[in-house]
Chain A
Amino acid sequence: MKKLITMMAIVLLPNVAMAETYDEVFEMNRAMYGKGHTFSWEGKEYSTNHPEEIEASVEATKENADALIAKAKAENEAAAKVGFEWKLTKGIIKDAEAASAEGDYSKALTLAAQAKYHARLGVQQQIDAEKNWHLSVPQ
């Protein structure tokens, strides 16, 4: 019996550990508390803000807006390169550029952050898909 419990613990341990990844804890806290919340993971404190929300929380200047737009473009190119560009991202980048050209840097930062977030998730989606697509195949 003891041996069985030990073996089951060995088999199940990786699954338990897998449920505690940073991404999962982040997503859980984000879903529960929204942005601006602090949570702990492996003894350290983290924010529920997305990296893009942090990047957009700078002073609303042309320089900052255009820099974030450039980052969004680069990330979207990376998503397109692996075949996971999302439908709306390019349009959001265009809207961000238009806002910057009109001097509405706050709007430009918000839109650029949204576009970069979409693009980053597209890149991540390809990585996840590569690992998991086979799970849907009937056997």
Chain B
Amino acid sequence: MRIIKNLTIGMSLIMGSQLVAAAGSGTTLDTVNPEADRMALRSYYQSRFPDSELSDYVNGIYAVDADSRSQWEELEEFPPYEFDVEEGERLFNTPFANGKGYADCFENGGIGIRQNFPYWNKEQGTVKTLEQEINECRENNGEAPLKWGKGAIAKVSAYMAWTSRGKVFDIKIPEGDKEALAAYLDGKEFFYTKRGQLNLSCSNCHLQGSNIRIRADLAGPALGHPSHFPVFRSKWGELGTLHRRYKGCHQDSRSKPLDMQSTTFRNLEFFQTYMSNGLVVNGPGSRK
């Protein structure tokens, strides 16, 4: 009888510990809690880098590494994306062949709206990104879509981000909308899942690996990641979109990368931007 009692207590301990883990993990549609995830991520960084202000995470690695920051501040005296913003404004204001323009496709004429992207589109049952709607705007007005990663789309997006600087991200997951929550969870799972020949997840570099050298580079923190895109990256020598960076990162793990603006990448952006709720838009940015 004593053995049975001990076995029962032991089994309860095992099962109990697993139940606690499942309840706290938020990794299923029933348990996932985006706001708890966001607060946990903030706490993680507050405890990891106690001297960094949360609001400064929009500056990526420069929020947590003083040496990198001083170099970046010098770079920002003559921002390398400045001409691209001007070109983006010109493109934005150039009418399509039918006389309409980008301003006709977006709320508030497309000015100061970057902080609302990406968003969950209930009618279409999918996450919509800013670049996606820039191209939809073109196609709906008889223009050819732009390539996703760089060039004109990055410039138009950069101009729209520029007009939104200082606005606070407030990505919403409609309450009770299981599809929206599933998209968020898909993005979250992608972020934390190891993949590729190098067996690396996004979080390996940008959570655990924040401010740790990967060869000559310091990986930036995940918090605030989407705030400064599109980005003029010195390695690229030009402006690029967030999905260009996603594709590059995915490939760096030696995975066959997903396509830019694929459902999973859009869900990843949805998750990452939700994590950055409360931070401000400061795109376009410059990075090494």
Contact = CB atoms under 8 A, between A and B. Distances in A.
Contact of A14 (B6, B14, B193): B14
Interface in A27-47: none
Contacts of A11: 10, 13-14
B256 interface: yes
Nearest to B21: A134
Interface in A1-26: 3, 6-7, 9-11, 14
Nearest to B264: A83
A80 interface: yes
A88 B257 CA distance: 11
Interface in A65-122: 80, 83-90, 118, 121
Contact of A136 (B7, B24, B201): B201
The bracket for how many chain B residues form the interface is 35 or more
B195 A10 contact: no
B14 A86 contact: no
A72 to B, nearest CB: 15
Interface stretch (B39-47, B72-80, B84-92, B122-130): B39-47
B43 A85 contact: no
B201 A133 contact: yes
A44 B268 CA distance: 46
A49 B2 CA distance: 48
B6 A136 contact: no
Nearest to B2: A3
A138 B195 contact: no
Given A14-B14, A80-B256, A139-B24, A88 B197 contact: yes
Given A134-B27, A137-B25, A87 B192 contact: no
Of the candidates B6, B7, B40, B204, the one having the most CB atoms from chain A within 10 angstroms of its own CB is B6
Contacts of A125: 194-195, 199
B13 A129 contact: no
Contacts, number: 84
A10 B11 CA distance: 8
Nearest to B17: A11
A133 B10 contact: no
B26 interface: yes
B2 to A, nearest CB: 8
Given A11-B13, A118-B197, A133-B27, A139 B256 contact: no
Contacts of A86: 196-197, 254-256
B132 interface: no
Contact of B27 (A6, A83, A84, A137): A137
B255 to A, nearest CB: 6
B194 A87 contact: no
A7 B13 CA distance: 9
B207 A138 contact: yes
Contacts of B201: 133, 136
The 6 closest A-B pairs by CB, nearest first: A10-B10, A134-B27, A138-B44, A85-B256, A138-B40, A87-B254
Interface of B: 2, 6-7, 9-11, 13-14, 24-27, 37, 40-41, 43-44, 188-189, 192-197, 199, 201, 203-204, 207-208, 251, 254-258, 264
Given A83-B258, A136-B204, 13 more contacts: A10-B13, A83-B195, A85-B256, A86-B255, A87-B251, A87-B255, A87-B257, A88-B197, A133-B27, A137-B188, A137-B192, A137-B203, A138-B41
